[in-house]
Chains A and B, each alone.
Chain A
């Protein structure tokens, strides 16, 4: 019983951590740079499919299947998603802010369409199965398998967290925040705003692709239905609840929201009769949608919120630090 509980807990946490990766990617784009990406699902899906095509064994049903190691699949996914974000960003970042939102929305629609219709490559609506899972050799021992996967995912999240924290405090990260807060001032200091935005957007997209690949490999099966606008929305709620601009908030939000989501889904499955479950599931989405609007209205900072740091020389608690304005300007 305890073993069963442990392997369920490990499975749950591992899935939550894959969401945390995607959420960290979104945080680079939105939290640190203020770029609104409505096509998260498209970039995640692209990463998952690229990695699956690179790593699955050769198959008669679809093109691809290069049988490469999983790590190569992850790298390929990050690269492909990063390139796609670069293209979408290059197209729209020099224009109005919400053109980016519209273009990313369109990108997600087109990715969904390609996944469904390019049957020879993507397997169509049925998706791709038998994606190699990490540590598949120990799959006969669920506890060991769960623990190993959890450890790898936790290591990936930790590595990303440390890298992003370092990046955020670097001169590069400070320029990003400067552009977000006051573009005119940053331009006056000679910073090329579009270029910095584009870099942040591409890095965020690559991380999302990596998250998609990690998720696909852990579950072992992907289908177009996993990458509907609903996924975009879930990731957004995770970031907003956890606190945008804060990497720890992004991870915390992913775990909390995924927990609420999974618990309420299993509660619905237990309480509501089978024929009404599809209906109640849509009510679940209504409640989450209302929750997002309510957080935007009532507590825009989220649980953790952004820690405002000007420089590492201004440590928390020092006199100068306390004089910084804490009012939330976004």
Chain B
């Protein structure tokens, strides 16, 4: 067993964690398991791919690598655009699909089913536009740096870890220290009561989608940068996202991030011990274990 699994696990875990924050927020505030969340990851990656490609085409200088990284300024600029576009996509899906279903006050499970249909439509739309061939932000090769202790990581990977840590901290502070964060937590506790005390539920719902989809877009761009961009990337991440959200405790942002890292490390360990083909089973095993032993998750409260 090599210490390298620590690095690999933390990096893929950081992306799972960012995605799981969105899942846990939608689950606790809008109260349904959103099967379309994985598609925000794929769409985020492809939005950034399209924008950075366009920027690189317009000005060759933007595509030249910055310092030790493999990408040029076109990618960070495209990432910002992609976060905005993905948030817009999430708001659009909410406006045409989820909001009308919510206002009908039907069973929650109809929302889950609608998200399942939306996921298929969104994923195959990507496949139609970009085909199922994998794409890359950059074809530059990177040499991994020695970190000591037999571990290696590329500058790109370290940057992704850092960005993920900063974003998770920022979301945690937003939820605990700002007015909109307090409103979000209030709605997750009791939607009726928070409506009565004058909290604007609609702006809370908007914030949930913007945060969730924005973080998903970042996770997608990181996955695209470190691995590759494919229409199924979001589908492949969906089970790890759910496992992390439930393991961390529904509604807990630090929980989702920590659980994401745990799932990532477990995946890296499995790849080492059993081989890469069993990677996708890890999330299910974790899910089964947590449902058996502690259904409220690590940081959740029992119902």
Contacts and interface: CB of A to CB of B under 8 A. Distances in A.
B291 A103 contact: yes
B125 A106 contact: no
A113 interface: yes
A98 B110 contact: no
A105 B239 contact: yes
Contact of A293 (B118, B235, B242, B281): B118
B48 interface: no
27 contacts: A36-B112, A38-B35, A95-B295, A98-B109, A101-B35, A103-B291, A106-B242, A106-B288, A109-B239, A110-B281, A113-B277, A113-B278, A113-B281, A236-B116, A280-B128, A283-B124, A286-B125, A289-B124, A290-B121, A293-B114, A296-B101, A296-B113, A296-B114, A296-B117, A300-B106, A330-B106, A330-B107
A292 B132 CA distance: 23
Given A36-B113, A293-B114, A293-B118, A99 B131 contact: no
Contacts of B108: 97-98
B213 interface: no
A308 B28 CA distance: 34
A236 B283 CA distance: 25
Interface centre among B33, B100, B118, B291 (most CB of A within 10 A): B33
Given A98-B32, A278-B131, 17 more contacts: A98-B33, A102-B246, A105-B239, A106-B283, A107-B284, A109-B239, A113-B278, A113-B281, A116-B277, A117-B278, A229-B235, A230-B120, A279-B128, A286-B121, A289-B124, A296-B113, A296-B117
Given A34-B109, A102-B246, A109 B284 contact: yes
Interface residues on A, range: 35 or more
B109 A285 contact: no
Contacts of A292: 113-114, 117, 120
A48 to B, nearest CB: 20
| Top 4 closest pairs, chain A to chain B, by CB | A289-B121, A292-B117, A98-B33, A106-B284
B296 to A, nearest CB: 9
B259 interface: no
Interface string B271-303: 000000110110110011001100100000001
B238 interface: yes
A230 B123 CA distance: 12
Contact of B97 (A107, A283, A293): A293
Contact of B113 (A116, A236, A285): A236
B127 interface: yes
B121 to A, nearest CB: 3
Nearest to A292: B117
Contacts of A110: 280-281, 284
A286 B39 CA distance: 13
A59 interface: no
Contacts of A116: 277
Contacts of A98: 27, 32-33, 108-109, 112
A224 to B, nearest CB: 12
Contacts, number: 126
Interface in B110-169: 110, 112-114, 116-122, 124-125, 127-128, 131-132
Contacts of B114: 292-293, 296-297
A103 B124 contact: no
Nearest to B279: A113
A116 to B, nearest CB: 7
Nearest to A293: B117
A269 to B, nearest CB: 17
A282 B123 CA distance: 9
A103 B35 contact: no
Nearest to B275: A117
Given A95-B295, A330-B106, A113 B280 contact: yes
A115 B58 CA distance: 47
A236 B284 CA distance: 23
B110 A330 contact: yes
Contacts of A278: 131-132
Contact of A289 (B117, B280, B295): B117
Nearest to B32: A98
Nearest to A107: B284
A263 interface: no
Nearest to A96: B303
B100 A103 contact: no
B38 to A, nearest CB: 11
Interface string B92-106: 000001001100001
Contacts of B238: 105
A186 to B, nearest CB: 16
Contacts of B119: 289
A63 B163 CA distance: 49
Interface centre among A97, A102, A286 (most CB of B within 10 A): A102
Given A38-B116, A102-B287, A91 B292 contact: yes
Nearest to B288: A91
A251 to B, nearest CB: 21
A149 interface: no
Contact of B277 (A91, A117, A285, A289): A117
Contacts of A117: 277-278
